[in-house]
Amino acid sequence: MAKLYFYNMLLTPTNFPDYELIDCGDFEKLERFGKYITIRPEPQAVWSKKLSQQEWEKTAHVKFVPKSSSSGEWKKLKDIPDRWNLRYKIPGSKSALEFRLTLTSFKHVGIFPEQAVNWDYISDSIHRLTPNPSPRGEGGVKFLNLFAYTGGASLAAKVAGADVTHLDSIKQVVTWARENQDQSGLSNIRWLVEDALKFVKREVKRENKYHGIILDPPAYGNGPDGEKWKLEDNIQEMMQNVLQLLDEKNHFLILNAYSLGFSPIVIENLLKDFAKDKLETGELYLQSKTSVKLPLGVFGRFRNF
The confidence score (pLDDT) of residue 137 equals 46
d(CA 31, CA 80): 14
The confidence score (pLDDT) of residue 136 equals 47
Q: Which residues contact 199 (CB under 8 A, 6 or more apart)?
A: 146, 167, 192
CA 206 to chain centre: 27
Strands (E), 68-109: 72-76, 83-89, 96-102
In a 3-state reduction of DSSP, which class is residue 221? strand
Work out the average pLDDT over 264-286: 87
Inter-CA distances, 278 with 153, 246, 271, 293, 304, Å: 22, 15, 11, 27, 8
Residue percentage of the chain with pLDDT more than 70: 93
Find, among 57, 29, 63, 48, the residue nearest to 287 by Cα: 29
Instruction: State the DSSP H helix or E strand holding residue 58, giving kind and residue range, or none if neither.
Output: helix 53-59
pLDDT digits (tens, 9 = 90+) for 239-261: 999 999 999 999 999 999 987 67
pLDDT digits (tens, 9 = 90+) for 103-124: 999 999 999 999 999 999 999 9
Q: How many CB atoms lie within 10 A of CB 162?
A: 30
Which range (172-176, 224-228, 298-302) has the least confidence?
224-228
d(CA 192, CA 199): 10
The confidence score (pLDDT) of residue 132 equals 54
pLDDT digits (tens, 9 = 90+) for 50-82: 999 999 999 999 999 999 888 999 999 999 999
Q: What is the CATH number of domain 5-304?
A: 3.40.50.150
Assign 30 a pLDDT band (cuts: 50, 70, 90).
Answer: very high
Inter-CA distances, 122 with 90, 144, 228, 272, Å: 10, 11, 29, 20
Q: Which residues contact 54 (CB under 8 A, 6 or more apart)?
A: none
d(CA 215, CA 112): 14
Work out the average pLDDT over 255-272: 87
Quote the pTM value.
0.93
Q: Do residues 251 and 290 touch, judged by C-beta distance below 8 A? A: no
What average pLDDT does the structure give for the chain? 92
Inter-CA distances, 132 with 86, 135, 137, 245, Å: 28, 9, 11, 24
Q: What are phi and psi of 54, to 5 degrees?
A: -65, -40
Taking the alpha carbons of 188, 193, 113, 266 in that order, is the dihedral positive or negative?
Answer: negative
One-letter amino acid at 40 equals: R
